[in-house]
Structure formats: structure tokens, C-alpha cells
């Protein structure tokens, strides 16, 4: 991800420099520096309007001066609508939970439209997670339907 962001910034600066009179990117307020250490960028609170951090709650708490947009306590939901493509939904749900479960943006809560209980999509989603070792905690709202028609 860092290399992609670095490439994008370099392209942006290069494009701006081609259009500026002096060619040094001075329109950025003295130029644009790529910061390799994330914490260095947060010290620039006089030039940074908003930080959208990608990291842990500890990272967010280190940012004292810059306004922060985001929530790093791992409250991440995935919603599956009744009009979903079942195979795509299973891939997305599995990837969001199993790719890197320790990440702050890993799925913690799966929300499923109530109509999916009737056509077995709910069971397919749960089975996809359980077959890969995920522990499932089904809340009371869905427990009755799950108990009536469960293949798990």
C-alpha cells in the first residue's frame, strides 16, 4: 500500500510541477515531502487539516494535535442484502474475517437481511466461516430461525 501511495503522490507532484511557473511545486506551500515515518506526518499539524489513520487504537491515540477521522476499536460490520450474489457474498464475508483477523478493520459483526434466513443463504455464509475455524456467536434475533432450519 505504501508504494502505491508513494507512486500516486509522486505522479501528483510531477503533474503539478509541469503546470507551475517555477517547476518546484511551490504551490504546495514550499513543496511536497514524502514522509516515511507515519508519526512524523502527525507533527505537521500546522499544515495537515485532517488525518484518516489506518492502524490500531494506539496509533490513533498518538495523534494529539491533528483532527482525526476514524474509529480504531475494531467495530467493523459487513451487511449482506437480500439481493446479493451468494458466491460473491461468501467470498467477501470470508475475506473480511479470515484474511487478517487481527487487523482493526477485520469484520467483527455480520449483518444479514432477514429474508436470507428463508432461502438458506444465511446458513451458507455461516458454514463458510465455520469451515475455516471461525467461532460464531448468533444473537437472539436470529437464533429461532437458525434453530428451526440449520444444517450447521
* Interval 80-92: pLDDT, tens: 999 999 999 999 9
| Closest C-alpha among 121, 118, 130, 138 to residue 84 | 121
As given in the structure block, the three cell numbers for residue 18 are 509541469
Residue % of the chain over a pLDDT of 70: 46
Task: Give the pLDDT confidence score for residue 81 in this predicted structure.
Answer: 92
Sign of CA dihedral 38, 73, 4, 50: negative
Task: Give the pLDDT confidence score for residue 2 in this predicted structure.
Answer: 57
Sign of CA dihedral 106, 104, 66, 42: negative
Residue 93, pLDDT above cutoff 70: yes
Task: Give the pLDDT confidence score for residue 36 in this predicted structure.
Answer: 45
Task: Give the pLDDT confidence score for residue 84 in this predicted structure.
Answer: 92
Task: Give the pLDDT confidence score for residue 6 in this predicted structure.
Answer: 72
Residue 5, pLDDT above cutoff 50: yes
Q: Which domains does the chain have, with CATH numbers?
A: 2-62 (no CATH), 77-148 (3.40.309.10)
Task: Give the pLDDT confidence score for residue 100 in this predicted structure.
Answer: 73
Alpha helices in 74-139 (DSSP H): 86-98, 121-130
Query: Given pLDDT bands bounded at 50, 70 and 90, which one contains residue 11?
Result: confident
Inter-CA distances, 28 with 9, 55, 65, 99, Å: 12, 27, 21, 38
What's the CA gap between 106 and 96, in Å, rounded? Answer: 6
Query: Given pLDDT bands bounded at 50, 70 and 90, which one contains residue 152?
Result: very low
Query: What is the average per-residue pLDDT within 63-74?
Result: 58
Task: Give the pLDDT confidence score for residue 35 in this predicted structure.
Answer: 46
Amino acid at each position: 500500500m505504501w508504494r502505491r501511495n508513494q507512486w500516486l503522490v509522486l505522479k501528483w507532484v510531477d503533474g503539478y510541477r509541469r503546470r507551475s511557473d517555477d517547476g518546484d511545486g511551490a504551490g504546495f506551500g514550499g513543496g511536497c515531502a514524502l514522509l516515511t515515518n507515519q508519526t512524523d506526518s502527525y507533527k505537521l499539524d500546522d499544515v495537515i487539516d485532517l488525518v484518516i489513520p489506518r492502524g490500531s487504537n494506539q496509533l490513533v491515540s498518538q495523534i494529539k494535535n491533528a483532527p482525526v477521522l476514524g474509529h480504531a476499536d475494531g467495530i467493523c460490520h459487513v451487511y449482506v442484502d437480500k439481493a446479493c450474489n451468494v458466491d460473491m457474498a461468501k467470498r467477501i464475508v470470508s475475506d473480511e474475517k479470515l484474511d487478517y483477523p487481527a487487523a482493526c478493520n477485520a469484520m467483527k459483526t455480520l449483518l444479514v437481511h432477514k429474508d436470507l434466513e428463508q432461502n438458506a443463504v444465511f446458513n451458507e455464509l455461516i458454514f463458510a466461516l465455520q469451515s475455516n475455524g471461525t467461532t460464531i456467536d448468533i444473537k437472539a434475533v436470529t437464533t429461532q430461525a437458525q434453530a428451526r432450519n440449520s444444517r450447521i
